[in-house]
Amino acid sequence: MDVPEADTDREWPKLDPIPTGIRGRCPRCGQGHLFDGFLKLRDDCEVCGLSYAFADPADGPAFFVICFGCVPAVIFTLGIQIAFDPPWWVHLLTSLPFLLVTCLLPLRPLKGWLVCSQYFFKAREARIVGTWYPYGPDGPGVTSPKRLW
């Protein structure tokens, strides 16, 4: 994508990752879109040209959904089963939609929030600075390679 020359050298404001990510917007400019589809990240921002190659939320959104979405849905389902002992089709009409809503709807905002948080806090792979002695001060040392950035 061709980005205007002025946009590459421009100073960008620090955007709060929570509202920016929940809306699925670019973490740098806040105007472009993060997603190409439901959960697939775009390659870059169509407005400012920021590459989303840094973004790796991994299993974070799924973890949050499991903890805060699936657990209440399962408790709801078990509560219906224990209290009323309904036939199986009642669960299809009540529990299944509730489970889908609590599990699928939060995935996109959570993924957007995590990607924007990675950009905001400059999160990246850990690096060793200087010489590291994993076997103590008298053992062999490991030096980190020189990085161009």
Q: In this predicted structure, what is the pLDDT of residue 6?
A: 41
Q: In this predicted structure, what is the pLDDT of residue 8?
A: 55
Res. 28: pLDDT tops 50: yes
Q: Which of 76, 73, 54, 75 is nearest to 65 (CA)?
A: 73
Q: In this predicted structure, what is the pLDDT of residue 3?
A: 45
Q: In this predicted structure, what is the pLDDT of residue 130?
A: 73
Q: In this predicted structure, what is the pLDDT of residue 96?
A: 93
3-class state of residue 35 by DSSP: strand
Residue 127 CB burial class (10 angstroms; 0-12, 13-18, ≥19): exposed
3-class state of residue 132 by DSSP: strand
44 backbone dihedrals φ, ψ, rounded to 5°: -155, 170
Q: What pTM was computed for the model?
A: 0.76
Report residue 39's pLDDT band, with 50, 70 and 90 as the boundaries: very high
* 57-111 pLDDT per residue, tens: 999 999 999 999 888 999 999 999 999 999 999 999 999 999 999 999 999 999 9
* 101-143 pLDDT per residue, tens: 999 999 999 999 999 999 999 988 776 667 777 787 887 777 7
